[in-house]
Amino acid sequence: MITHYLHNNQNSVSKHYKKEALKAIHNFISYKEQVDNVSLEQETALKQLLSEVENVPFPTSKASKFKFIDLFAGIGGFRLAMQNMGGKCVFTSEWDTNAQKTYRTNFGEIPFGDITNEKVKGFIPSDFDVLCAGFPCQAFSIAGNRKGFADTRGTLFFDIEQIVTTHRPKVVFLENVKNLVTHDKGNTFKTIISVLEDKLGYKTFTKVLNSMTHANIPQNRERIFIVAFDPKQVENYENFQFPSKIELIKTIHDILEKGKQDDKLYYKKEHAYYPELEKTVTSRDTVYQWRRVYVRENKSNVCPTLTANMGTGGHNVPIIKDDYGIRKLTPRECFLFQGYPENYLLPEMANGRLYTQAGNSVTTTLIERISKEIIKVL
């Protein structure tokens, strides 16, 4: 509550958070006085907290062209892109506490928790233009079979539907895995589009885009993007177009870190699979991928799709050969392969959690290119 209030302290949205935030600040002061035995004034506490909010790599802008909310926010890929386009985030939600930590480190704001909770939904301010969500995909087959693709209850998309129904943003901007289009023989995707168009009255545009063809990022990452406009608020919605292909200029060597990395990233010769790795991982111009018991080579000399499970169980692990041996990608390299800037901070936590965060994220530069086309229409 406090970080959301302070992030919006110079615009009208702060009123939405003020009552609960001031109550929280009062509790904060009482706690500090008990622990530190120091008398604090509310103004002093506010200055201290405001400093913590503003002294981060990507503080919220004082002025903005539009307002957006960031659902299933992860580590802030949508936020980074939309802020670069002049947007102001007025609400964010992410249930994973490790992702919340990374988000706070970079944006100075702690996301609200589980968006399926009605109390959390109640904290969403009424005044915003764009709803952003890289929402998890759940099976829609039962809903589709029984309700003619009209009922999404029991899925996380239903929470998006509820929020859109309540707040009617000008734009809904969604991202998901490419397989969403064909999931359950296409019924899942039909459900989503039917709800947005037939039930909610939005006009939708959909397209599968690849980070390596549309964002100048050397990662083979295909994702489905859905952009939906409310025609009553955006009369020229038909002018929207997804960004066109651009030349891939960056190579993996623009991203891979130079020099020797942490010893624990390198495969030791006594590793059970080292003979297979040594035989297959031969080029320094390729990011390979360990697939449980064999190595897959990416023929296009880009990074294979980063996944959420690449840090767990030895599956889908991206590996390279450098001057010092065969190693896994560093967490920093994975974030760079998702378009995050060099000054994006990675907090102290297990590498496996950072790998998961990178794999779950969007490619920020691709989101930015799509956002640019949305803002043109707005």
Quick check: helix, strand or coil at residue 300? Answer: coil
The two three-digit tokens of residue 140, written as one number? 């829609």
Q: Which residues of 185-198 are buried (b: 16+ CB within 10 A; e: fewer)?
A: eebbbbbbbbbbee
Helices (H), 135-267: 141-147, 156-167, 187-194, 211-214
Is the four-CA dihedral 354, 181, 305, 213 of positive or negative sign?
A: negative
CA atoms within a 13 Å half-sphere pointing along the CA-CB vector of 66: 22
Tokens standing for 64?
């903005």
* Nearest CA among 318, 316, 347, 321 for reference residue 333: 318
Tell me if 131 sits within 8 A of 171, measured CB to CB: yes
How does strand 87-92 pair with strand 66-71? parallel
> How many C-beta atoms lie closer than 10 Å to residue 127's C-beta?
13
Q: Kindly state the tokens that stand for 145.
A: 């079979």
Instruction: Give me the catalytic one of 89, 132, 137, 334.
Output: 137
Rounded Cα gap, residues 108 and 55, in angstroms: 8
Q: Is 137 a catalytic residue?
A: yes
Within 13 Å and on the Cβ side, how many CA atoms surround 272? 4
Alpha carbon 190 to its chain centroid, in Å, reads 24
Q: In whole angstroms, what is the distance from residue 45 CA to residue 141 CA?
A: 51
Residue 199: DSSP 8-state: I
Strands (DSSP E) along 30-113, which ranges?
Answer: 66-71, 87-92
CA nearest to 340, candidates 319, 316, 354, 358:
358
Residue 63: burial class (beta carbons within 10 Å; 0-12, 13-18, 19+): exposed
**Residues classed as catalytic:** 137
